[in-house]
């Protein structure tokens, strides 16, 4: 969920929770008003918890991590990189990938590539 939606839902939930004593209960509530206040409170608490709760991991969400990668060097028109480089839609279908404590990578010559981390294209 986008961060702006989370903030909006949290603000509305807090407003819903705070308005219960102000609107419903200050005027001597009857049974209907107590039921309405209870439902309003329950919905506001559920919305608040749903917005604050961290997103559950999904199998289609890709997570990549490159830690302490080695140096990458490019010579004579080559391309070299370290860290994580993901291009295209292919990465959406991958679960995860991790590179840690990798060695040096050198690309020599035209159209050569070197990466000491993760590259998916």
- Give the pLDDT confidence of 1-59 residue by residue, as tens digits: 677 788 888 888 888 788 777 766 677 777 887 788 788 888 888 888 888 876 655 55
| Same domain for 38 and 16 | yes
| Same domain for 80 and 47 | no
The residue segments making up the domain with residue 115 are: 63-120
| Same domain for 115 and 92 | yes
Q: Looking at residue 1, what is its pLDDT?
A: 63
Residue with more model confidence, 90 or 82: 82
| Same domain for 71 and 42 | no
Q: Looking at residue 90, what is its pLDDT?
A: 62
End-to-end, the C-alpha distance of the chain in Å comes to 26
57 belongs to a structural domain: no
| Same domain for 70 and 109 | yes
């Amino acid at each position: 969920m986008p961060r702006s939606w989370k903030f909006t839902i949290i603000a509305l939930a807090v407003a819903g929770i705070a308005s219960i004593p102000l609107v419903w209960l200050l005027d001597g509530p009857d049974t209907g008003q107590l039921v309405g206040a209870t439902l309003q409170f329950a919905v506001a608490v559920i919305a608040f918890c749903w917005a604050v709760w961290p997103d559950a991991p999904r199998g289609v969400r890709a997570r990549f991590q490159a830690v302490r990668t080695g140096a990458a060097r490019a010579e004579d028109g080559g391309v070299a990189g370290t860290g994580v480089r993901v291009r295209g839609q292919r990465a959406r279908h991958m679960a995860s990938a991790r590179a840690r404590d990798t060695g040096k990578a050198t690309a020599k010559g035209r159209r050569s590539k070197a990466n000491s981390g993760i590259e998916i294209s």
